Structure 1
Amino acid sequence: MKIKASCLFLLALLATTCDSSGFDHFWLVQVWPSGYCLQANCSQTSDRFIIHGLWAVNVVDKTLPGTAGKGDPSIRPSWKKHGSAAKEFIQPRDYFQMALQLAKDTDLRNTLQNHGAVPILPDGGSYNKRDYKAAIKNKTGHDPLLKCVKGDDGISHLKEVIICVDDQAQSFIQCAKQKDRCYSDIMFDVPPRTN
């Protein structure tokens, strides 16, 4: 009986692995411009998180290719690069509306400031990675993935926050276990001054 159960488990695992290339859910990817521009050599024009895209991913959290190449961090080119990979499930207009609504629901700047044990402010200070994750988990119910860029100062600067969303782009879900690309302390860079 143990052998049969083991074989069934192995078959289920193989079936999941074989089907890992198709669309399963989305990543809501939001960029912190001050960190992103350290790597991308762009001008910092916002004091808010910017939607990089709603990315179609497979069951093992690998992004699926869309119909276009690299885009900048904004929602417009994101449909061709990422959203079109899920075009059987979602149309462009719905894609944009859902991405905007999800970003509004997460309101990352407010979430980091008000939903953790420690207020995380874009003041140029460093905060522990656990505190970033805890604040976002308190808001969404699930751990995010964090991406950072190593600055010339050797410090991790917050670049992106990835939050996993179900295949209907309606509910937050747990991301597959992946390593964050950040050290334990992450700088939340000061945004540009707006007049």
Structure 2
Amino acid sequence: MIRKAEPKDAVFAAPLIYQAIGEIAHTLTGATEADEAIAAMAQFFAQKQNRLSYENAVIAMEGDVPVGLAVFYHGSQTEALDRPFVEYVKKRTGVAPALVKEARDDEFYLDSIAVRSDKRGKGIGKKLLAAFEQEAIRRGHDRVALLVDEDNPRARQLYEAWGYRQDGMVTVSGHRFRHMVKSVFVPV
């Protein structure tokens, strides 16, 4: 089952988001250690109006146990959703981070998707990807996008099998990613 995320999911969600985005978590939070970045992301997840907010997430459940998540937003909202991170890092370090815009203004963007390591290979990631695409359609968006690490051909192949195609490259936090897009059907 896939359900909307809630603030109480922060403790579950933050480590999975960290697993999905890696170094980007350090850029977003100004943290140098993983546990520090995860703690900051948990705080952001439990709050409204930011890139990693529970408002922008769904949780995959197995019975009463959360096993995966997807975080998404529309590219036109990027600046507003990143502003809390910029302010947070600037307050902590005195320097505003240079956040790369990962999504274009005409895309519904999959920021991160992750499944607990002991639950992988059971189709949960595919259910989350389908939920993301359905949310795009529900909101009236006909173009979805995501980034996949250049060094992750298995993930790229999965997305290609789902109809995504590469249309560029983006460097985020020192890593190169393939920008992949797909058109989805929005009923009239």
TM-score, normalising length: structure 1: 0.27
Which protein is bigger by CA-based radius of gyration?
1
Larger RCO, structure (CA 8 Å, separation 6 or more): 1
- Pick the structure with more strand per residue: 2
- Pick the structure with more helix per residue: 2
